[in-house]
Amino acid sequence: MARTAITVRRFQPNGAHTEDFGDAIDAANGMRVARAEPERTVIRYTNDHASNAFSIVVRAGDKPAAQAAGQGDLTVSVPAQGTRWLGPFDSGRFMQSDGSMEIDFTGTSPQGGITVFHLPKNT
């Protein structure tokens, strides 16, 4: 199945930003960030399960786009009712050949929200 697209929130220089839950995760199909700029991408994953910990997995890129993909995936455990922030990332490790980044979730029935932030180059 096709991966579910994640809505990217863009930070604006000198701006205010409202916090929200983000997109509900799609553990069955995985998710993707289209037209990613890994060095300017930050991910927030909130596990809203009452008792189960889950992991978020940022997949290593495929060749030839990702020269450092051999370092493997980045897997981060998120405790029940916990939040983890990941990134910015190295495009040489995480960029897919189509310009996207791929994200998966592991554990028993993962659930929660994911928000992808795009950081500005300057203020």
pLDDT in tens, 2-42: 999 999 999 888 888 887 889 999 999 999 999 999 999 99
pLDDT, tens digit (0-9, with 9 covering 90-100), for 77-120: 999 999 999 999 999 999 999 999 999 999 988 999 999 999 98
Answer whether residue 100 is part of any domain.
yes
Number of domains in the chain: 1
SS3 assignment, position 60? coil
Flag whether pLDDT at 66 surpasses 80.
no
Query: Torsion over CA of 26, 59, 92 and 39, rounded to 10 degrees?
Result: 40
91 in Cβ contact with 38 (< 8 Å): yes
Q: What is the pTM of this model?
A: 0.91
Domain with 42 in it: 4-15+26-110
Spatial separation of the C-alpha atoms in residues 16 and 89, rounded to whole Å: 24
Answer whether residue 115 is part of any domain.
no
Answer whether residue 45 is part of any domain.
yes
Spatial separation of the C-alpha atoms in residues 11 and 24, rounded to whole Å: 20
Answer whether residue 120 is part of any domain.
no
What confidence score (pLDDT) does residue 44 get? 97
Answer whether residue 118 is part of any domain.
no
